[in-house]
Amino acid sequence: MTLASTMATTPIVLDITKKADVIGSFTWNNPNYKFTTGVSSQNVTYTLQVDVAGNNFKNPQEKVVVSDLSTSVTVGELNTLLLSRGLDFGVAQNIEMRLRATLNGITAAPVYSNVLAFVVTPYLDVKFPVPTNLYITGSATPASWQCGCGEAENTSQKFTKVNAYTFELTLALSANNSYLFLPVYGSWSAKYGFTGGGNANNQLDDEFKPEGNDIKSPGEAGTYKITVDFKTGRFKLVKQ
């Protein structure tokens, strides 16, 4: 079984703005499983496998194709496969791809194609662009609302960036009051809030968006660990 591809053999840098574009097409021939009775007429399931070069496909990420003899892979699909494999974004990765063929409903050894090699740089896949800093403000917080009038930075309400897309902060919150997230302290030029109506959110776990509405704090006052995830576009609160 021979696998061919239109993907570039020169280093590829994936672009988040083109995630829906096709990065390459893959074609192959039917392996024609043969038994003592002749060539099998059973349906064949094909799986495109991706792994780190030199790993012998011990931990592949896969795209199932079922019975077709071709498939296309988008920028977003390839990026997801690479990140799911645990590869770092923003770093050129040496990867290998191959095709695995199996017979449906019959116990038979898989057939594998030739291996294709590529160099690909994945991107950080997030729902919203990640700010450098993040703060919380609002009537639910100890410092209440920021006035936007040049007050000194209150670092006790500044989140810690724990990875490339997640912020965390442990803070005392009053019950059933409002808050928002700001990327720049004391500035209302940008904000993150609830995706729905003001104070209509699930108080412990819900979605946020740029220029969203006020978020309602939990019904019980206390100290909460607040996690804001720009990859999923969700915030979560856990009482400490």
Can you give the C-alpha Rg of the chain in angstroms?
A: 25
pLDDT for 37 beyond 60: no
Task: Identify residue 8 by its one-letter amino acid code.
Answer: A
Confidence band, pLDDT 50/70/90 cuts, at residue 60? very high
| C-alpha to C-alpha distance for 180 and 161, rounded to whole angstroms | 17
Confidence band, pLDDT 50/70/90 cuts, at residue 43? confident
- Asked if 120 and 14 count as a contact pair (C-beta separation under 8 A), the reply is yes
pLDDT for 153 beyond 60: yes
% of residues, the chain, pLDDT over 90: 77
pLDDT for 67 beyond 90: no
What does the pLDDT look like over 172-221, one tens digit per residue? 999 999 999 999 998 999 999 999 999 999 999 999 999 999 999 999 99
pLDDT for 38 beyond 70: no
- Look at residue 42 in the predicted model and tell me its pLDDT: 59
Taking Cα atoms as reference points, which of 215, 234, 235, 216 lies closest to residue 225?
Answer: 235
Domain ranges of the chain: 3-121, 135-239
Q: Which fold has domain 3-121?
A: Immunoglobulin-like (2.60.40)
Confidence band, pLDDT 50/70/90 cuts, at residue 108? confident
- Look at residue 175 in the predicted model and tell me its pLDDT: 98
Taking Cα atoms as reference points, which of 120, 17, 11, 113 lies closest to residue 65?
Answer: 113
| C-alpha to C-alpha distance for 109 and 94, rounded to whole angstroms | 28
Per the prediction, the chain carries an average pLDDT of 92
Among 66-70, 71-75, 151-155, 220-224, the range scoring the smallest mean pLDDT is 66-70
Question: What is the architecture of the domain spanning 135-239?
Answer: Sandwich (2.60)
Among 91-95, 105-109, 232-236, the range scoring the smallest mean pLDDT is 105-109
Mean pLDDT along residues 145-149: 86
What does the pLDDT look like over 22-36, one tens digit per residue? 999 999 988 776 544
Confidence band, pLDDT 50/70/90 cuts, at residue 151? confident
pLDDT for 134 beyond 50: yes
Instruction: Give the predicted TM-score (pTM) of the model.
Output: 0.66
